[in-house]
Structure 1
Amino acid sequence: MKPYYEDENVQLYLGDMREVLPALGVKADLILADPPYSETSLAWDRWPDGWPTLAATVASSMWCFGSMRMFLDRGPEFADWKLSQDVIWEKHNGSGFTTDRFRRVHEIATHWYRGEWRGIHRNVPRVPSTYDSKGRTVSVRAARPPHTGEIGGATYSDDGLRLARSVLYAKSMQRAAIHPTEKPVTGLLEHLIAYACPPDGTVLDPFAGSGSTLDAARQSGRRAIGIEANEPYAETAARRLSHLTLEAS
């Protein structure tokens, strides 16, 4: 198939991922998917039946955005995958207009894998500590709460970094968004990609939308393949990627 957009690191294809992906014959190190949640009456917000099963044929590691309602409704479709963890994206502002529920200011990103966990690439990003601790010598006690298992004591020099937390705060795109469900690169997508895709790997986005995942993967030095069913969004994503390529050159 001919890419709708292509540069040395990114390929973007137009069409339904259930038709395009088998025709590409590709393998990816990571799938990063933001599928339609099927929770509104908008024309594009329709769940593509069977896509998680198809995704399992091209990768063994996947981040998938969604809501709790979506994952509960679609749980059987993830039968080919094992759930490893969930991460919360905390937004600076909420969405929705209901007045009989808590104001929703978060979305869930779940990580799924296939096969043995020891064979899955994972590297938790380390971020600066909230207090100045660099250079301190730290003694870690051997004692731990019983439910965490046995961990031996150790002494190390604090480098001022900590494992990224499972709640990631990043401003939602709002007026700057190209797509109504666009996810921010900085503070969110960059961490998910760093965790689950090796530095020289390939990220596949089956619902490319605005191209933010393709942009994030390219910025991190990885290759990216995207598929988008809606041509106006594919065109906008292509312009975005092309503009960023020109800016960098």
Structure 2
Amino acid sequence: MSLYYEDDFVRLYHGDCLTEHHEWLDADVLVADPPHGIDYQSGRERATLAASILNDKDTSVRDGLLGAWGDRSALIFGSWKIERPTETKALLIWDTKGALGMGDLSIPWKPSHQEIYVLGSGPWQGKRGTDVLTYAPIQATAKNGRLHPHQKPVPLMTALLAKTVGSVADPTAGSGSTLVAAKALGRKAIGVELEEHYCEKAARRLSQGVLDLGALA
């Protein structure tokens, strides 16, 4: 497995971030959405969008990358259904404006948020703000623009990266939202993605250059 995409800001590798590619460990801040360990299975009818997440049976990928990263700045997406990382210092809530699937239909509430864990010793930057971040998610189906089941909106990733310092690592890059946001901010970034078809999607987005962040959502 080798370098899949490169430009003046971003390098994207195709392969395993824990056993094959360790280049991401040279970055300054880790911003990633690893498999949560919830065995995600979508019941939604879909044409091309995957109904599951590879390696989502447990938290081994998340724990492995955090173990390799050590006590440095990190923002990690996760789920309340699974135990949070041991060294979590703060919890951010991504408010999805009421749009995040149907959830458990036996109760009168639907899910409308995700968790983001703040870890590491910093540094951080920017003005202090609320720990609730309100951004609309990507439309739920591939025909409406979603490229990955857990794809994050670029404006959300841009807001997160704005609080961090230095080059960015995303060792579970998926369709590349973190890398796109980093490039838009003029930040160096290193990504790794295990599945080649997501590398292809990420490379296509990155090769478009720096566009309007709303359009990239």
Shorter-normalised TM-score: what interval? Answer: 0.7 to 0.9
Structure 2 gaps of 5+ residues are 42-51, 213-217
> Within the alignment, does 1:38 sit opposite 2:49 as a pair?
no
**Distance in structure 2 (CA, Å) of the matches to 1:5 and 1:235:** 9
| Residue-pair matches, total | 193
Query: Which moves more between the two structures, 103-112 or 168-177?
Result: 168-177
CA distance in 2 between counterparts of 1:112 and 1:239 reads 31
Q: Which has the larger radius of gyration?
A: 1
Matching residue of 1:108 = 115
Task: Give the superposition deviation at 1:103.
Answer: 0.3
Given candidates 89, 93, 96, the residue that maps to 1:88 is 93
- Say if 1:89 and 1:109, in contact at 8 Å, map to a contact too: yes
Secondary structure of 2:75 counterpart: strand
Q: Partner amino acid for 1:14?
A: H
| Length-normalised TM-score, structure 2 | 0.79
| Counterpart code for 2:94 | W
One-letter amino acid of the structure 1 residue matched with residue 154 of structure 2? V
User: Partner residue of 1:166?
Assistant: 131
SS of structure 2 residue aligned to 1:32: strand
- Contact 2:184–2:210 (CA under 8 A) maintained in structure 1: no
- Structure (1/2) with the larger helix percentage: 1
Gaps of 5+ in 1: 127-162
Structure-1 residue corresponding to 2:197:
232
Normalising by structure 1, report the TM-score. Answer: 0.70
Work out the percentage of aligned pairs sharing the same amino acid.
Answer: 33
| Residues 1:98 and 1:112: Cα distance change in structure 2 (over 3 Å) | same
Q: Deviations over 1:68-113 (max 9, x none)?
A: 112x1xx5xx45xx32211111112121342123200000111111
Q: Secondary structure at the match of 1:100?
A: coil
AA of the residue aligned to 1:44: L
- 1:212-231 aligned within 5 A: 212-231=177-196
Residue 2 of structure 1: how far off its partner (Å): 3.2
How do 1:81-160 residues align onto structure 2 when only pairs under 5 Å count? 82-92=87-97, 93-101=99-107, 102-113=109-120, 117=121, 120-124=122-126, 126=127
Partner of 1:69: 81
Q: Distance in 1 between matches of 2:29 and 2:207?
A: 23
